[in-house]
Amino acid sequence: MREIISNEYNLREIDMTEVVKRVKVLIINSKNEILLGYSHHDYQFPGGHVEEKEMLQDTLEREIREETGIHLQDRNLIPFAKSLGYYKDWPAPGKNRKIEIYYYEVQTDEKPNLANTSYTENETEGNFKLEYIPLKNVEEVLKQNTKKYGDQKGIAKEMLELLDIYKSLKKDGNK
């Protein structure tokens, strides 16, 4: 599994006051299109936060069902990448947060079932929608969206980095 580490302040594990775990998934169909969420002018890989006492696999299944209506039950999925971010004084002064994000790939032609989705208030307010984009075009789509709306949260930068890792692993036959 490839790791990406972001630690601008050279924080140590002992400096962390909280740890947040998330999962994200690259859902790719047989047409080589990737399913992305779009909300608040940002594209994103489907996924979300690991809840207390929840295993990564359970989070993955729940989040994909909530955001796409696609059921991933009984798939033994292994992350292909992990991002570790260490943030000083965030989300408030005196708090240091570590964010672990596990990235998965799912190959499926199952279509999103919006009747089975459950969006958060933030997603609803941001007019969350799902969109298939040809994998060969997704980098350009992300760059154009960033040019138009910016990338204040760094989501596009993260996605481009993960797409590079994914493509590299596919090319090397490790995925």
Interval 88-114 mean pLDDT: 95
Q: Are 81 and 35 in contact (CB under 8 A)?
A: no
Domain that holds residue 148: 2-172
pLDDT of residue 23: 97
Where is 84: in which H helix or E strand? strand 81-87
- The first and second tokens of residue 49, run together, are 């936060």
Q: Give start and end residues of each alpha helix (H) in 47-132.
A: 56-68, 121-125
What does the pLDDT look like over 9-65, one tens digit per residue? 999 999 999 999 999 999 999 999 999 999 999 999 999 999 999 999 999 999 999
Q: Are 47 and 63 in contact (CB under 8 A)?
A: yes
What does the pLDDT look like over 56-92, one tens digit per residue? 999 999 999 999 999 987 678 999 999 999 999 999 9
CATH number of the structural domain spanning residue 118: 3.90.79.10
pTM reported for the whole predicted model = 0.92
Q: Total structural domains in the chain?
A: 1
- The first and second tokens of residue 122, run together, are 């933030």
